Chains A and B, each alone.
Chain A
Amino acid sequence: MRNKIVILILGIVLFSSCESWVEENPYGVYSNDNFFESADDALSALLYAYDPLNYIEYGSRFIFDIADATTDQMITYGKGEQAYRIEMFNWTFTSSNTVISGFFKYCYLSIARSNSVLENIPKIESIQNGVRDQYMGEAYFLRAFNYFYLVRTYGEVPVRTKVVADINDVKVDFSSIEEVYALIIEDLEKAADLMSVRKQQGRADRVAAQALLTKVYATLASSKMTGAEGYDWVADYETMYAEAKKYGQLVVEGQGDYRLDPDLLGLYEVDNHETSPEHIFMLSQKRFLSGEEGNFSQMPQMFVISLPKVYVSSELDMVGNVYPMVNNQSWAVFRTDSTFYKSYAENDKRQDLFVSKIYDANGSLLAEYHPSNIDSEDQILSAFYYPFCRKYSDPESDGTKTSANPYFIRFADVALLYAEACGNTEEGYHWVNQVRSRAGLDELDTGLSLDDFRKAVWNERKYELAFEGHRLYDLRRTNRVVEEITNKTVDANYANFFPIPQRETDLNQ
């Protein structure tokens, strides 16, 4: 009897509520179960969706490997670098290239996080409607922003508008370019509706959505017009230019917060990133932030020649006081093609955004750039074989940490697209000449044909937006990749779209 009682009790212990004995509840970990309950949670998750853009696989490095290193504006000079980067410089990359796969992945990281925000914010009850709209709008903007990069870089890509919840959701079909653009436009229209105008570094507002719509329609228009691969489906380019003009006008004339910054050098200085009216959408990495690279940036080191501390003139004309580009050794990764440098018009101030003279700390001239320096015995001269870009610098950098940021969308970019959309009209001339006069150039010849006018605008973009992650996309949408990139042999297979990363092809099944 006694034994039976014991067995009975053992049985009860063993079989009653066993599950709760072996459950481990998440502790100290956020998940969908305990997040998305307040406006603060919503903002946190929204900023987390912006965050991938900060990483080196996206805005802080790979965007330049994709859109600048591949073009006529940069060249390797045969100096050692990471193998994957040399492949980008020389168009020898394959579908397993780190840049090709890394950029793809980070776009989708941001998309997944945007989707998470879009799925969850509507469920939060304790959030004011205005705030909810703004956050939803930013998430739509971000999703479109990423798909716009993806479709221009890779062409047909998988479209995901929901978070993957299970291993069985992994397989997804690739969408046509038309379908991707449909989603982009739909998202951006929602974003422009939902958001208000509020300039804030690190976040998008209504103007950013309108600016991106301008870029999207200008891309569709010019691609169709020039017969660029993949855009046959676009109905007709004039309609697209009309749409670009509509949104471009809203940006350049329909608001009062953004305009061309009259200070050409100043707009690139880190202290002005937050305040310059030029910047419509850029990130906000800061040297003093916690965490790893991605919270601060190391972008100046990527452009500046490989010396411990490089002093440059504080003026565009290379005289006057000096300051250091960055307070540590640089790595000379993104190297200017000197042919491109020399192609600037003689009095184009924007040429001086490339440094040709460096100084010591006292302001005495230390060295002058020359292509033949590459063979010099002198340690300093041998490093100074290309004029380096000064759009990314931080004289107050904290060791390797800087506040330099990529300029995703700035006013001049949209102004030139607007001019392109307007064509050889007064409006068109006005905006292209605004940009030219800031650079110290004469006004564009009047009486250009529509075709020549647009070509002139494209040429203006080449010099205005150099090393800001636009060049390859501009060449692709105007069907000029092979024609313009002559300093290297372009792989014609990938001229208009890069290969889908091998990892995606292998694993998407």
Chain B
Amino acid sequence: MRDSLFWRKLSKLVLIMKFTTLLMLLFAVQLSANVYSQQTRLKVDFNQATLKEVIEKIETQTNLTFFYSSDVLNINQTVTLTSKSMSLEDVLLLISSQTGLSLTVDQDHILVKKEEAGKSMMVQQVGKVSGQVTDASGQPLPGVTIVIEGTTKGAITDTEGNFSLNDVPSKAHLLFSFVGMESQRVAVSGKTSINVVLEEEAIGIEEVIAVGYGTMKKSDLTGSVASIKADDIKVTPSGSVEKLLQGKIAGVQIINPSDDNPQGGATVRVRGASSINGSKAPLVVVDGFPMGDAGSLNMINPNNIASIEVLKDASATAIYGSKGANGVILVSTKRGRVGGTNVFFNTKTSISQFSDELDYWKDPVKMAKLENEAFINQGLEPLYRGARNTLGIYYPSVEQLESGAWPYYTDWTDYVFRTPLNQEYNVGVESSNDKTSFFLNVGYYQGEGMQVKDDYNKFSADVVVEHQLLDNLKVQTKFGMVSGNRNRNGGLNYGRNPIFPVYTGDGSYFKSYSKDYGNVVALLNERTSYNKTKEQFAQLKFDWEISRKFRHTTQLNYRHVSYMATSFYPIIYTEEGDQNHGRGTLTMTTNDAVVGDTYLTYEEAIGKHNFSVMAGVSYENDTYRSSFLESREFTNDILREENLSAGSIKYLGNGYGSPKLLSGINRINYSYNNKYLFTFTSRLDGSSKFGENHRWAYFPSGAFSWRASEEDMIKALGVFDNLKFRASYGISGNQGIPSGLTYERFGESYYYTDGEEKIINGIGYIASRGRFAEWGGIANKSLGWEQTAQANLGVDMSFFNQRLNVVMDVYSKKTTDLLRKKFLPPNTGFDEIWINDGEVQNKGIELSLSGDIIRGKDFNFSADLIFYKNKNKVVNIGTKEGAGYNVDEYGNQYTFYGSRRVLGTDQVVNVLAIGKPINVFYGYKVDGIIQDGTKESELLQPGEYNYVDLNNDGEITSADRTIIGDPNPDFTGSVNLNLSHKSGLSLSMMFYGVYGNDIFSLRKLTTPRLVEGRWTPTNPNNDRPSLRSGRQYKISDWFVEDGSFLRLQNVTLGYDFKRNFLGFFKEAKIYTNATNLFTISNTSEYDPEVGENGIGGNPYPRVSAFTLGINAKF
């Protein structure tokens, strides 16, 4: 036994050494590599091709850039070259001989000019040339490369954008180039001062975007990938990234029910929920490093994000194989892109308030009268009668309250809420020259919740360095740390009875009776709960151009996360503390994640055929260790969580896991004549989470795209600037379940015998605790992946000189082999085993329109519209016996889903029903209120709910329940409007709306404002039941409301100070932003945006934040 463990460890060590050796070998080869034009060999196959085509082809094969001036060069002249392997030098010579042009290779450039008669013409005059380079807005551009055409001589602009060159021939041309800008060629013509304005490179369909293990021109995309630039999202304050994506991308639904968590976090779904027990959240990949599920990404500093891409269809996600089924969000962070050195400073400050008035009992007399009415209707003595109730709580009489004789009125909101201040600061430096660039950012975020002591702050530091180590070898490293601190003080009940004082006469906290644990001030001051997260990460990436066709990339990532959470429930004022005489906990967890990727890219062009092939391997391992301490029975509250050994009863636990994933990845792109594009992507995954019989799986996908706008026929129409049709099909997987389900597992308990307590172990362990435990521990060696097959059809269109862009996609996703628990017959001694069974379907349409409505000299106005509709359906949840589902008299085959119990009962609202969307509501139907009844029983009195006897058996029983609502929206949509004026003023707005979903509104029952509309004999109505204190509420459609809403989510007004106005700054922007200005909805909830399960009851309104922000660069 021990021996075999030793051998396993040894063989693992050998493997690690293998991998290390490989990397070292690769590195060594890279060092020895030297690529010169003589050695670089090209594959050329041009028959009467235009010079333009030839240049493009050579550029793609070599990454060299041709520099030429179109006035001297007729790019439509034709050349013919054919060879399978020819040195670059020979290619250039051949072109030269056919065209009479001179082509010379500079470091990164090929300079093209007319072969002049006197090639060796003497330069008559030389002189000094200086000047300044600015961008279109007049800002100086540092770091611009200036080269004297035909030579290697040149200069780089300084921080003010100035340059100076000596010995410039008067008839020479200067070439100005800069990343992200269109290059320019300027004739010297004897001038000594030359000022140049560089224009930004036209973006749009030529944009390059991340696709996972590589990048692609947007025009070459065949899959469904949405891209969003950081500038579009970063003005809104948020502790977390995913909140900012709401309403920005078609096909992505962000559900953000509570706006008050200072730590951020939201539910993210890409193209619907396609799992039941596994993860439904998309995978998030930051700079090539898979970070895990979306929803808890508060460890990324939003300020550092450059762009976000969302991979939606199978063609795009299959490259992430077993983690791709829920979509993939790729986050690219900033690197030092700008020449010269910039120092930047960005800050945001927000204050928040509730966007709606709080509704609680402000008039204790009215509260007492209504409460008394409820007691009397139940046949009890009124509660407020100047006596103690059965628990021993003294309630004054209504008269005492009315006359003012009762001395206490406490407005608990004064103690619970505040006007929170959120602040964010980012300070950084970015710098680059022709070899090295770096980006450094230090950020601080201070978030406050609406509740006192509900805080989050984080500090982050990031460094990115890129260095061109050799001509063909680029090294990039990124490292950083984040430290987050959360002080959690949630769930304080501001609706506590206002007749209770805060303190008693002796200054201790008031308790209405011995088991009253609701004094919010006591909880605020005495209860402790906080956590701290620290994260460090490092990334090392090599880009090695082995040749003009081969490129090799290796990336190594490491991340360490440590998490600590501690809490203390004091003896007197909390229920847990009172039951256990004080309870303290401490949880510590560390994660160490290692991800290594290495892949080769090969590109080839033969005539009109273009190929690129990427293949590689990836390895992931995330090891976590956790420990848990708990103590109960403390002598007093003095030391709290500080010293858990002071408690006399102690519990401890620890955990360990180390899931692994080894993968082969590959992607083949082929295009013909730039019109017909094919992509084949696949990934082979082996995951330790699955049984040895199902450990390896293959996820292929294919896509085809037709750029119809390249066809002469379409061009002739003159309508489309771009018209592209896309079709894809493929399979991706989901492995979002805990590891350790595929091996047998013993349980643990205690047994007292022979005078001592023994720890005992044996087969079967508690898989889910609770009132009645469920027993697991049996292995399923055949457990495998969930598989999602997805078909996608899309079209990209742009019209009117790219002023109107339309992207539309329709998709159909089918997820089979759902990971879920199968229930076992009790005779086995086990309750459950994880298996693959069941099917869920999602179908939808996504549409995004973006239009530059006004594109003027002074004034621009653009609008984006996003429409997204997803239809979810549970097709199959296994056999009736295996899944244990119910069949009712109305044909619903359903099983209760989720654990949300409501209305103080054991009733679950949501079900999975075959043929229905996930999470539909299940319960009784109510047909108004009983107006005059037989009074035979409590439930038939006037003023009671008139429950519908669906099966007509004369009784209201559980058989009268059916499906009563669906929390999934028919569609969601958003409109983004942007106005800008040449003065630097800009205004943007975002509206976000959800239509056609149902909410199970719990506030409909309890909101004081609504309670007044109750049924009484003098106010009979069909809307609300009478007040009755002992009523047991059933889950019914009375609580179901239309959850549709439209919200003005965001308004930003900005002003951009021009450089001329503020000489010292390179950039200065000031803006104000307001969130959640208004919401139109018809629900009884404070806010219609509730969780994915549609259950309301959030105790306070959405928060509205007002932000003032400054971005400065110098």
Interface residues of A (CB under 8 A from B): 2-3, 6-7, 9-10, 12-14, 16-35, 37, 41, 43-45, 47-51, 57, 98, 101-102, 104-105, 108-109, 111-113, 116-117, 157-158, 160, 163-165, 167, 169-170, 172, 200-203, 284-286, 289-291, 294-295, 379, 399, 501, 503-504, 506-509
B827 close to A (CB within 8 Å): yes
A508 touches B827 (CB 8 A): yes
B745 touches A31 (CB 8 A): yes
* C-alpha spacing A163/B659, complex, angstroms: 28
A44 touches B827 (CB 8 A): no
A47 touches B661 (CB 8 A): no
B764 touches A109 (CB 8 A): yes
* C-alpha spacing A158/B662, complex, angstroms: 44
* C-alpha spacing A112/B763, complex, angstroms: 8
Give the Cβ gap from B401 to chain A, nearest Cβ, in Å: 26
* C-alpha spacing A108/B616, complex, angstroms: 51
Q: A31-B744, A47-B751, A47-B753 are in contact. List 12 more A-B contacts (CB 8 A).
A: A12-B18, A19-B695, A21-B686, A22-B660, A23-B692, A51-B762, A112-B828, A116-B762, A158-B827, A201-B752, A203-B753, A295-B749
A45 touches B658 (CB 8 A): no
Residues of A within 8 A of B754 (CB): 200
Residues of A within 8 A of B881 (CB): 506-507, 509
B719 close to A (CB within 8 Å): no
* C-alpha spacing A6/B833, complex, angstroms: 44
B617 close to A (CB within 8 Å): yes
Out of A10, A29, A34, A57, which one reaches B598, CB within 8 Å?
A: A10
Residue from A13, A24, A379 with most neighbouring chain B CB atoms (10 Å): A24
A506 touches B695 (CB 8 A): no
Interface string of B748-786 (1 = CB under 8 A from A): 111111100111111110000000100100101010000
Out of B19, B758, B825, which one reaches A503, CB within 8 Å?
A: B825
Residues of A within 8 A of B234 (CB): none
Interface residues of B (CB under 8 A from A): 1, 5, 8, 11-12, 15, 18-19, 22, 25-26, 29, 390, 546, 550, 552, 579, 598, 600, 615-617, 619, 649, 651, 654-662, 664, 686-689, 692, 695-696, 739-740, 743-754, 757-764, 772, 775, 778, 780, 782, 822-831, 833, 835, 880-882, 884
A290 touches B651 (CB 8 A): yes
A98 touches B772 (CB 8 A): yes
Known A-B contacts A6-B552, A116-B762, A289-B752; the reply to A48 vs B747 at CB < 8 A is yes
A290 touches B619 (CB 8 A): no
Residues of B within 8 A of A20 (CB): 8, 11-12, 15
* C-alpha spacing A294/B274, complex, angstroms: 40
Nearest 8 A/B pairs, CB to CB: A112-B829, A48-B762, A24-B688, A30-B746, A507-B825, A105-B826, A508-B825, A22-B686
Give the Cβ gap from A87 to chain B, nearest Cβ, in Å: 14
Residues of B within 8 A of A503 (CB): 823, 825-826, 884
* C-alpha spacing A101/B751, complex, angstroms: 25
B835 touches A167 (CB 8 A): yes
What are 5 sample pairs from A and B whose C-beta atoms fall under 8 A apart? A19-B695, A20-B12, A22-B661, A109-B829, A169-B828
A170 touches B828 (CB 8 A): yes
B761 touches A44 (CB 8 A): yes
A13 touches B764 (CB 8 A): no
Give the Cβ gap from B960 to chain A, nearest Cβ, in Å: 17
A49 touches B762 (CB 8 A): yes
Residues of B within 8 A of A170 (CB): 824-825, 828
Give the Cβ gap from A161 to chain B, nearest Cβ, in Å: 12
Give the Cβ gap from B316 to chain A, nearest Cβ, in Å: 23
B827 touches A160 (CB 8 A): yes
Out of B546, B740, B747, which one reaches A2, CB within 8 Å?
A: B546
A44 touches B758 (CB 8 A): yes
* C-alpha spacing A34/B761, complex, angstroms: 12
Residue from B15, B29, B695, B749 with most neighbouring chain A CB atoms (10 Å): B749
Give the Cβ gap from A31 to chain B, nearest Cβ, in Å: 4
* C-alpha spacing A44/B880, complex, angstroms: 38
Residues of A within 8 A of B775 (CB): 109
Out of A35, A165, A507, which one reaches B746, CB within 8 Å?
A: A35
Give the Cβ gap from B42 to chain A, nearest Cβ, in Å: 16
Give the Cβ gap from A433 to chain B, nearest Cβ, in Å: 35
A164 touches B11 (CB 8 A): no
B880 touches A506 (CB 8 A): yes
Residue from A101, A167, A295 with most neighbouring chain B CB atoms (10 Å): A167
* C-alpha spacing A37/B743, complex, angstroms: 19
Residues of B within 8 A of A104 (CB): 826
B753 touches A201 (CB 8 A): yes
Residues of B within 8 A of A507 (CB): 823-826, 881-882, 884
* C-alpha spacing A7/B760, complex, angstroms: 53
B829 touches A113 (CB 8 A): yes
* C-alpha spacing A32/B692, complex, angstroms: 17
Give the Cβ gap from A399 to chain B, nearest Cβ, in Å: 7
A18 touches B772 (CB 8 A): no
Give the Cβ gap from B44 to chain A, nearest Cβ, in Å: 20
B760 touches A47 (CB 8 A): yes
Residues of B within 8 A of A399 (CB): 579
* C-alpha spacing A169/B775, complex, angstroms: 17
Residues of B within 8 A of A201 (CB): 752-753
Residues of A within 8 A of B740 (CB): 24, 26, 29
A284 touches B8 (CB 8 A): no
Residues of B within 8 A of A44 (CB): 758-762
Residues of A within 8 A of B659 (CB): 24
B600 touches A6 (CB 8 A): yes
B617 touches A10 (CB 8 A): yes
Residues of A within 8 A of B390 (CB): 379
Residues of B within 8 A of A37 (CB): 1
Chain B's closest residue to A34 (CB) is B1
Out of A165, A202, A504, which one reaches B751, CB within 8 Å?
A: A202
B658 touches A27 (CB 8 A): yes
A2 touches B29 (CB 8 A): yes
Residue from B657, B695, B830, B882 with most neighbouring chain A CB atoms (10 Å): B830
Give the Cβ gap from B749 to chain A, nearest Cβ, in Å: 5
A504 touches B825 (CB 8 A): yes
Chain A's closest residue to B616 (CB) is A10
Give the Cβ gap from B443 to chain A, nearest Cβ, in Å: 36
Residues of A within 8 A of B746 (CB): 29-31, 35
Residues of B within 8 A of A33 (CB): 1, 744
* C-alpha spacing A45/B764, complex, angstroms: 11
* C-alpha spacing A285/B757, complex, angstroms: 10
B827 touches A157 (CB 8 A): yes
Give the Cβ gap from A5 to chain B, nearest Cβ, in Å: 8
A22 touches B695 (CB 8 A): yes
B662 touches A26 (CB 8 A): no
Chain B's closest residue to A201 (CB) is B753
Out of B689, B743, B782, which one reaches A26, CB within 8 Å?
A: B743
Out of A21, A291, A504, which one reaches B619, CB within 8 Å?
A: A21
* C-alpha spacing A93/B418, complex, angstroms: 54
B15 touches A21 (CB 8 A): yes
Chain B's closest residue to A24 (CB) is B688
Known A-B contacts A31-B743, A31-B744, A507-B823; the reply to A18 vs B828 at CB < 8 A is no
Give the Cβ gap from A363 to chain B, nearest Cβ, in Å: 24
* C-alpha spacing A47/B687, complex, angstroms: 36
Known A-B contacts A21-B619, A27-B656; the reply to A111 vs B750 at CB < 8 A is no
* C-alpha spacing A10/B550, complex, angstroms: 15
Out of A3, A19, A285, which one reaches B752, CB within 8 Å?
A: A285
Residues of B within 8 A of A49 (CB): 762
Residues of A within 8 A of B550 (CB): 3
* C-alpha spacing A57/B826, complex, angstroms: 13
* C-alpha spacing A181/B780, complex, angstroms: 33
Chain B's closest residue to A157 (CB) is B827
* C-alpha spacing A28/B624, complex, angstroms: 13
Out of A13, A26, A101, A291, which one reaches B745, CB within 8 Å?
A: A26
* C-alpha spacing A506/B775, complex, angstroms: 18
